[in-house]
Amino acid sequence: MTKEILLGDEAVALGAVHAGLTAGYSYPGTPASEIMEYLIRAARTAGTFVAAWSVNEKTAFEEALGVSFAGRRALVSMKHVGLNVAADPFMSAALTGVGGGFVVVVADDPSMHSSQNEQDSRFYAQFAQIPCFEPADHQEAYDMTREAFDLSERMNIPVMLRLVTRLSHSRAGVETGEARPQNGLKYGDRQCWTLLPMNARAQFKRVLELQPELVKISEGSRFNTLELNAADRSLGVIASGIAHNYVLENVREGAKKPSVLKVATYPIPEALVRKLVAHVDTVLVAEEGFPLIERSLKGLFGIPGKTLIGKLSGHIPPAGELSPESVRAALGMKPLERQAPSEFKPAGRPPQLCLGCPHADTFKALNKALEGFTKSNVFSDIGCYTLGYFPPYNAINTCVCMGASVGMAKGAAEAGVFPAVAVIGDSTFGHSGITALLSAAASHTNMIAIVLDNCTVAMTGGQPTFASGDRLLKIIEGVGVPKDHIRVITPLPKFHEQNVRIMKEEIEHSGLSVIVAARECLEETRKKNKRE
Amino acid sequence: MTTNRKQDIILAGVGGQGILSIAFVIDSAALKEGYNIKQAEVHGMAQRGGAVQSHLRLSKDRIYSDLIPRGEADLILSVEPLEALRYLDFLRPGGKLITSSAPFINIPDYPDRETLIEQVRRVPGSVVIDSEALAKEAGTSKAQNTVMLGAAAKDLVVSQDGLREFIRVLFAPRGEKILESNLKAFELGRRAAL
């Protein structure tokens, strides 16, 4: 055994490699990006498996599913909202079952450090009725990934591994084991994999019948631990994932130790929960994300004769991530003594566009071109350019999900908004903007889509983009945007006047226009220069 | 070098100032000297010029939380004076604040420099280092993070030789000149804090 310092994300990636991974796919998204970053680096050295970025999470999921169909082990990783994009194949993959072990790694971002919403992916696992592992630390992230592949193959079902930001982006030592060889090629059974109603009904029945067995497996998992305090039956804590760390952090030196059940696997290990609940008067449920365990304990009627506390009771804040302090308060412990805070309130320092960023020049030109119009007509998207929301730009009015800008601009134009402008990055356009632009082209919508082509996925650290440069222009033309109204500008201060003029011309044009603002991200240029 | 079994450190700065490089050096030295480590970082959006921090936990015993509980930090090491004040409630009574005096001004409401430094000095046991001047003296203004690492060296549980070793590991691939500047930056920071 060797010990390595790894990010939580990297521990998962290495666990997958050692589990005999044949291929992994992903789309960049914080906090999941480092899984694929690691796999790509590892593949470059080892050269025995495939590790690749995909155009979006749905595609990544389907590519991985194809690997599993072929009898070989596959991983797909994404951030929580990525699973919304991949939800279609995700729900049906539970029915097809798997060939080779198939692990879906989803990293949730409670507190929305780098996201547009909070979600708890354990609900997706419950929804699809597939097993889910929730590691509490790096060692578990590694070990559970390996075990998830085995379980997936043994039970013939995809398995989810659920991460959260604090584990994904924390480093610690991990002891690793021997690598297992890859599976050989073995084709899937067409009756299982062709979800025609007649086949799908049989497959769904199989998933339903599997559930009692999955609960039993969860109950027997070595990752779930139950420690009952025979001397004090007042409080019991059910803590899942990293919430367990916060509980132990607080009670490690405390005189009064509650009974603690650590839940690390799903479906909920029911027998263990019953044992804990029977042992204590008050049950505190601490879980990162939404109250999944707490809600199932509460049901409609609560637990007769017991007090149940957690997020639903308000003992733990329902929004945002847990902290050692919020769990401490729920445990009924006094806050630690700490340095008196200064009365001085430091000014906030939000993230912002880099000095000289091409997006800044595009926004300056756009603001100028839109002078005289209402300012509420710029629909934006997910990327560095979302920072155009802040002063001095104040350039955008929406950011909802990947690709929403183009569809929303079309809808707004059809509702009477003029001029309707969509602002979308090249990678986001490739991810989810193309279909919306096809729709706008087919409808001859009077709107402008500005594609900010900076040749990279910048916000997540500079991953490759698929819809950039010449290919981007061909796609735009290919979906049916009139060639005369595909304009390319270079967002640089020296072209400001010219760029404003082009934007104004396209605003005046009655119909669909696309302006491509093409200039490479400064970070990428810097990285390239460093390499040379 | 201090000799405790555990040490909790908040590293503070602005995205791009190199606090993860400091963390790497301390972590690697700590691991070599038999400590367990956990290091929570900020990736993604905030790295674009926003406030960033890293929770660095070193202990001979098992470490549970990835985040340092408020009231447990032994040290706040900041590469920027405004950021130094952002995490004060993490500091335990008697904890130490070591910060650079060089402001990184990328917000319109950045406070007056004198007022800011005065606020820092009000924190009991705070140490203020002119990392900008010392980094320039060492040969590159980019080495301010290494200056601050040097300034904290005597207060860390890891040995100074351990720190030097991993400064070499980190900067050797970037060329002899950059490595030499960083080793010098470390020494200048170390001496400034004596």
Average pLDDT over residues A269-291: 98
Please tell me the predicted confidence (pLDDT) of residue A144. Answer: 98
State how far the Cα of A70 lies from the Cα of A333, in Å rounded to an integer.
54
Compare CB distances from A337 to B28, B47, B71 and report the shortest one's residue: B71
Specify the length of chain A in residues: 532
Burial (Cβ within 10 Å: 0-12, 13-18, ≥19) of residue A416: exposed
Confidence category of residue B1, pLDDT binned at 50, 70, 90? low
Single-letter amino acid code for the residue at A411 = G
Average pLDDT over residues A74-97: 98
Residue B42 has pLDDT above 90, yes or no: no
State how far the Cα of A313 lies from the Cα of A292, in Å rounded to an integer.
13
Please tell me the predicted confidence (pLDDT) of residue A174. Answer: 96
- Chain B hits for A30, CB-CB cut-off 8 Å, are 43-45
Average pLDDT over residues A160-185: 97
Confidence category of residue A374, pLDDT binned at 50, 70, 90? confident
- Beta-carbon separation of A351 and B50 below 8 A: yes
Chain B nearest-CA distance from A36, in A, is 15
Residue A254 has pLDDT above 90, yes or no: no
DSSP A187-236: PPPHHHH---HHHHHHHHHHHHHHHHHHHHHHHT-TT-EEE--TT--SEE
State how far the Cα of B130 lies from the Cα of B143, in Å rounded to an integer.
12
- pTM to 2 decimal places: 0.96
Please tell me the predicted confidence (pLDDT) of residue A255. Answer: 66
Compare CB distances from A248 to B43, B51, B64 and report the shortest one's residue: B64
Residue A91 has pLDDT above 80, yes or no: yes
Q: What is the pLDDT of residues B90-137, one digit of tens each?
A: 999 999 999 999 999 989 899 999 999 999 999 988 999 999 999 999
Chain B nearest-CA distance from A4, in A, is 10
Chain B nearest-CA distance from A411, in A, is 29
Residue A150 has pLDDT above 70, yes or no: yes
Burial (Cβ within 10 Å: 0-12, 13-18, ≥19) of residue A92: middle
Torsion of CA A325, A331, A333, A334, to 10 degrees: 40
- Beta-carbon separation of B44 and A459 below 8 A: yes
Confidence category of residue B15, pLDDT binned at 50, 70, 90? confident
Residue A30 has pLDDT above 80, yes or no: yes
Domain architecture of chain B: domains with CATH? 6-130+152-172 (3.40.920.10)
Describe the crossing of helices B160-171 and B19-32 by its angle, rounded to 10 degrees.
130
What's the mean pLDDT when you consider all of chain A? 96
Of residues A503 and A2, more confidently modeled: A503
Chain A nearest-CA distance from B192, in A, is 25
- Strand, helix or coil for residue A277: helix
Domain architecture of chain A: domains with CATH? 2-218 (3.40.50.970), 225-330 (3.40.50.920), 358-529 (3.40.50.970)
Please tell me the predicted confidence (pLDDT) of residue B3. Answer: 66
Confidence category of residue A405, pLDDT binned at 50, 70, 90? very high
- Chain A hits for B37, CB-CB cut-off 8 Å, are 5, 171-173
Please tell me the predicted confidence (pLDDT) of residue A418. Answer: 95
Average pLDDT over residues A31-37: 98
Residue B166 has pLDDT above 60, yes or no: yes
User: Can you give the C-alpha Rg of chain A in angstroms?
Assistant: 25
Confidence category of residue A256, pLDDT binned at 50, 70, 90? confident
Q: What is the pLDDT of residues A185-236, one digit of tens each?
A: 999 999 999 999 999 999 999 999 999 999 999 999 999 999 999 999 999 9
State how far the Cα of A90 lies from the Cα of A510, in Å rounded to an integer.
41
Residue A388 has pLDDT above 90, yes or no: yes
Size of interface A-B (CB pairs under 8 A): 150
